[in-house]
Amino acid sequence: MTAADTKAAGPPVPVPRVPEKTGISHSGQEADGPRPKKRRKKGELLPYFLILPAILAIAAVYVYPLIKTVIMSFQDLGRAALWGNGETPWVGFEQFTNILGDPDFWAVVGRTVVFMTICVVLTMGIGLLIALMMLKVSTWVRLVLTVALIAAWSMPLMVAASVFRWLSDSDYGLINTLLADLTGDEDRWLGHNWFLDPWQGFGIITLLVVWGAIPFVVITMYAALTQVPKELEEAASLDGATAFGVYRFVTWPVIKPVFTMVATLSVIWDFNVFGQIWLLRGNKPEPEYETLGLYSFSKAFESTSFSQGSAIALITVLMLSGVAVYYLRQLIKTGEVE
């Protein structure tokens, strides 16, 4: 290469230097060094201290009795042992084996499931129809209906049971009087005792349960129906959809999560019905009217087998645990959608 060629090639291109690792990242912090500890904000623990009394109260009211029930179900606790005058032997799963092998227990379970199903279907069906009707009536009618529902909802159970006992009374009951006037058959209906036949007796009990549960369903479902976009319903109607089509494809998808949650709560409540049957049967329900709650109470306090009653109560909790888990999942899903 000549001097002229070297001159034409120009000066050499400088090679960039590789920066040395300084341990500082692009964000200005050390890459491998210790990070500074996050300081707690002032008052960050205050909410936990505020809810601590409620947590302790819940633990005392719910957690301790549940633990005690589990312990008693594995023992043979009698009247003497309850008052500390005798020993309480451990029997393991003997109580559960005796209960699950008892045909009367499964008869009570079947009766409870059928009763719960009828109550839930009637409650949700009638409640949804009334909520849909409240969308069509005028404002003052809706206001009067809401006040009536709240009044029925706030009525104590003992008062409501007394009213239904009077309505179904064999001698002075309004139901018998109305049926006698409508059918003209006074000999059949005047003096008719509804509770001699368990099917008829459970019909009166079902009326009481449904009557007391409908206000909550109506108010909740009406609130859900008000969240349905009106423009979507109008667009579906303009496209030629019938009233049922608008409800099925527009209204129902919006209110379905709320309907599912309310129905799940109704299953839990109606499965544990106790006071309505107890009060309508004069604090002495016949075996034909026993549901799981009454059956557990009867075994524990009338047969003085507290451990067996605890085992039945624990089995009831296990039966409802799947429904409770499903309810919590729906509640979480609803929160995620919102």
Q: Residue 1, class by beta-carbon neighbours within 10 Å (0-12 exposed, 13-18 middle, 19+ buried)?
A: exposed
At 41, the pLDDT band (50, 70, 90 cuts) reads: low
Residue 191, pLDDT score: 87
Q: Name the residue with higher pLDDT: 18 or 325.
A: 325
Helix, strand or coil for residue 20? coil
Residue 274, pLDDT score: 92
Model pLDDT for residues 68-102, shown as the tens digit of each residue: 888 888 888 766 666 666 677 788 888 899 899 98
Residue 27, pLDDT score: 47
Enter the tokens of residue 314.
């624990």
Residue 8, pLDDT score: 46
What is the secondary structure of 54-106 as a DSSP string? HHHHHIIIIIHHHHHHHHHHTB---HHHHTTSS---B-TTHHHHHHHT-HHHH
Residue 80, pLDDT score: 62
Mean pLDDT for 254-264 is 90
The answer on pLDDT for 63 being more than 50 is yes
Give me the chain's average pLDDT, please: 83
Ramachandran quadrant class, 184 (left: phi over 0; alpha: psi -120 to 50; beta: rest): left
User: What's the start-to-end Cα distance of the chain, in Å?
Assistant: 78
Q: Name the residue with higher pLDDT: 33 or 296.
A: 296
Mean pLDDT for 34-62 is 78
Mean pLDDT for 183-206 is 90
Q: 96 vs 27, 134, 277, 315, CA distance in Å? A: 64, 49, 26, 8
Closest CA to 282 of 165, 155, 111, 119: 165
pTM: 0.78
Residue 43, pLDDT score: 67
At 7, the pLDDT band (50, 70, 90 cuts) reads: very low
Return the exposure string of 153-169: e unless at least 16 CB atoms fall within 10 Å of the residue's CB, then b.
Answer: eeeeeeebbeebbebbe
Distance CA 259, CA 256 (A): 5
The answer on pLDDT for 25 being more than 50 is no
Contact 296, 278 (CB under 8 A): no
Helix, strand or coil for residue 192? coil
Residue 42, pLDDT score: 62
Distance CA 231, CA 87 (A): 71
Residue 83, pLDDT score: 67
Residue with tokens 């070297």: 6
**Helices 139-154 and 103-134: angle between axes, nearest 10 degrees:** 150
The answer on pLDDT for 263 being more than 70 is yes
At 36, the pLDDT band (50, 70, 90 cuts) reads: low
Residue 184, pLDDT score: 84
Q: Name the residue with higher pLDDT: 11 or 90.
A: 90
